[in-house]
Amino acid sequence: MKAYVQHKAVKHLKKVDPLLHAAALPHYETVLAKGMHRRNYSKLFAHLAGSIVSQQLSTKAADTIWGRLKGKCKGEVTAETILKLRITSMRSAGLSAAKIKALKELAKAVQSGEVDFKKLAKLPEEEAITTLSSVWGIGRWTAEMFLMFALLREDIFSLGDLGLTRSMETLYGIPKDSPKAVYLEISEKWSPYRSTASRVLWRLRDTKSYR
């Protein structure tokens, strides 16, 4: 018997959403493994900075720019190294003016204590999202992805993620671009494991494996 069948999220999804559970069976092991790494507070700034860099870019382009930025930061992207970088140096890495401003504002917020990752980890979801979204250049989607993948919050559902809603439309036969309430109603039954359900849906879309 595979270890994942005893996972609380798997048991919950099997009970409340048999359709999603059946589609997820081939993918649980992969999905759950990605959510089991330990939270490393020292890397959280870099994780969020990386999310800013990758906005509206292909994975290849984002990786290239991130590599250049990391090089200019001497291998460690931190609030301190970002604040020390000249704007011209950041531009030469391939960053737009908006992303440079967002990175600088994030660095300032972290240094001032406006954004404290350890405190953020303990805040309720909406409060944490509001705190992150108060930083220039960080929107709700970026904040939600940070909570899910960096802070390992278990109950995050991003209504603004197009890949997620498209996957739901395919699995549940929902008309394209239905009212938001339709997606939210389905997601509510996954709680408190909406993050696992979301990872499953992304995985189904990536592998195009629906049952």
Return per-residue pLDDT of the chain as tens, 211 residues.
355 656 899 999 999 999 999 999 999 988 888 665 556 777 899 999 999 998 888 889 999 999 999 999 999 999 999 999 999 999 999 999 999 999 999 999 999 999 999 999 899 999 999 999 999 999 999 999 999 989 999 999 999 999 999 999 999 999 999 999 999 999 999 999 999 999 999 999 988 877 6
Select which of 63, 116, 155, 161 is catalytic: 161
Tokens linked to 27: 């993918």
CA distance 210 to 22: 9
Cis before 192 (ω within 30): yes
Q: 41-149 falls under which CATH superfamily?
A: Hypothetical protein; domain 2 (1.10.340.30)
Which of 12-44 are b and which e, b meaning 16 or more Cβ less than 10 Å from the residue's Cβ?
bbeeebeebbebbeebbeebbeebeeeeeeeeb
116 is an active site residue:
no
Domain(s) of CATH 1.10.1670: residues in the chain = 3-37+157-207
Supply angle C-alpha 59, 62, 67, rounded to 5: 120
Of 2.170.130, 2.40.40, 1.10.1670, 3.90.120, which CATH number belongs to 3-37+157-207?
A: 1.10.1670
pTM for the whole structure:
0.87
Contacts of 23 (CB under 8 A, 6+ apart): 171, 200, 204, 209, 210, 211
